[in-house]
Structure 1
Amino acid sequence: MTQTFVHWPFRSDEVRPLVPDGLILDEYDGAAWVSFTPFVMTDVRPFAVPAVVPGLPAFPETNLRTYVRSRDGRPGIWFLSLEVRCPLMLAARAVGVPYHPGTLTVSRRENQVRYVGSRWGGGPSYEMTVRPGEPISPAERDEWLTSRWRAYTQRLGIIWETPVEHEPWPLRGAVIVDLRETVTAAAGLPRPHAEPLVHFSEGVLRVRFGVSRPVRRAA
């Protein structure tokens, strides 16, 4: 699964209205972070399916996410929007994952990677080209932004937790060559106040999603 991470810091009051009351907005250095992450998913399967069984065919996906904790302190991701080309992934709407079918492409040419996507029926779209750099040794902030092992969603007023399992991302620096997107504005965010932090990864070998469960309320 190759992936690019574009991370922007926002003021907490700009992001808090987009996160349900049952979750705590996670911050780093006094900022709430939002990440735009286009990628290609390969070999995806549920936890119960053994590695010898082929996963889903490779498909592009793009999410806009922020960082949260449950009331008992378990860190995770809250998706603000999620575009996908694989119709099978739309089944995750059953637990509140905000998937939208779209036309997405990822292409590579020489030392650049280009991502293009648009939601079916109109709505947000993006075009981005990045130039991957050299491998990096992740600092604390890099790991905070990329090493999250659960996703939170909401359905029928209930917060759900879905575990995610894969190896840590092998990260590289990256430079944005061009970026045009309406995804952040469509999610209800203002224009970013600062230049983004950008990571690129050639990916991990296997990704597994666990069974979604309701989150218990803290006492």
Structure 2
Amino acid sequence: MVSYGPEQRVYVPELCARWQTQTFLHWAYPPEEVRRLLPDGLVVDTYEGSAWVSLTPFVMADVRPPGFPAALPAFEETNLRTYVRGPDGREGLWFLSIEVSAPVMLAARAIGAPYHLGRLALSRREDVQAYTGTRRGGGPRYRVAVRPGEPIRPTHRDVWLTSRWRCFSRRLGMLWETPVEHEPWPLREAHLVDVEETLVSAAGLPPPAAQPLLHFSEGVHGVRFGLSRPVRATHRGAGGTLADPPRAEGAGHA
């Protein structure tokens, strides 16, 4: 069941960071469109009968990989992700693509993360946050501009779309999961000014059919990624869809 706060402590982090100036754009999709993009072992997680795909541009700061004596310089990152459950039924994220402006992060490809190097930028003009990016080699690109609004008291859907505490990857012919710990997202309203993107179609999905649902956050501190571990297979069939989860007790409270 999706929770507002982290589901586990990460005592031995593989990576520490801070996420800043994060915008969430969420699109609903028919589950079958997302199902065909998932590896064996993962099933589509749905909310109100729909699968969801989210574009999340932000800034990575205070990044400290193992063995680095000091934090890396801050850099822009943009994720295209969808919502899944593993063989044991626990919720997580599957990344369709990860755009970064820092070449050092390409080392994460070794653990199955779909990183792509590109030219990314964040600009602020008056009350508008604008994110732009182009994948190296003239690949997919995007421009997102939003106007952050007032703080919100998260509903169950807000928590479901923003608070996930593990991500999945695939390497060496196996499914892996990585636990994540951080403080709960302080969410705000966001109003769309402009969005143009080709990341969604590059990932193998049809273009979004409607305007996105939006969230904005100034960010979270103390992000800790734990050690990745292989996921045990169960009797649960691969590539299916799990029904909407029951409402979490107390959901809707910040």
TM tier, smaller: over 0.9
Q: Take 1:176 and 1:54, find their aligned partners in 2: how far apart are those partners?
A: 37
Specify the alignment match of 1:10 in structure 2.
29
CA deviations 1:14-46 (Å, max 9, x no partner) are 111111121111111000000001000111335
Q: 1:21/1:86 Cα in 2 relative to 1: closer, same or farther (>3 Å)?
A: same
Other structure's SS at 1:206 match? strand
Q: Which residue of 1 aligns with 2:180?
A: 164
Partner of residue 114 from structure 1, selected from 126, 130, 134: 130
Q: What's the % identity of the aligned pairs?
A: 65
Q: What does residue 137 of structure 1 align with?
A: 153
1:20 counterpart = 2:17:
no
Q: What TM-score comes out, normalization by structure 2 length? A: 0.81
Gaps of 5+ in 2: 1-19, 236-254
Question: How many Å apart are 1:74 and its aligned residue?
Answer: 1.4
Corresponding position of 1:150: 166
Residue type at the aligned position of 2:144? M
Using CA pairs below 8 Å that are at least 6 residues apart, which structure has the higher relative contact order? 2
Q: TM-score, normalised by structure 1?
A: 0.94
Q: Secondary structure at the match of 1:145?
A: helix
CA contact (8 A) 1:3 1:201 kept: yes
Q: CA RMSD in A?
A: 1.4
Match status 1:179 vs 2:195? yes
Question: What is the distance in 2 between the residues matched to 1:192 and 1:4?
Answer: 17
Match of 1:97 among 113, 120, 128: 113
* CA distance 1:115–1:212, change in 2 (3 Å): same
Q: CA deviation at 1:54?
A: 4.6
Aligned length: 215
- Cα shift readout 1:74-99 (whole Å, capped 9, x = no counterpart): 11100001100111211111111000
Could you list the structure 1 runs, at least 4 aligned residues long, displaced by more than 3 angstroms after superposition: none
Structure 1 match to 2:243? none
Question: Residues of 1 paired with 2:137 and 2:60: CA distance?
Answer: 23
Contact 1:45 1:209 in 2 (8 A): no
Once residues 161 and 75 of structure 2 are traced to their aligned partners in structure 1, the CA distance between those partners, rounded to angstroms, is 23
User: Whole-Å Cα distance in 1 between the matches of residues 208 and 109 of structure 2?
Assistant: 28
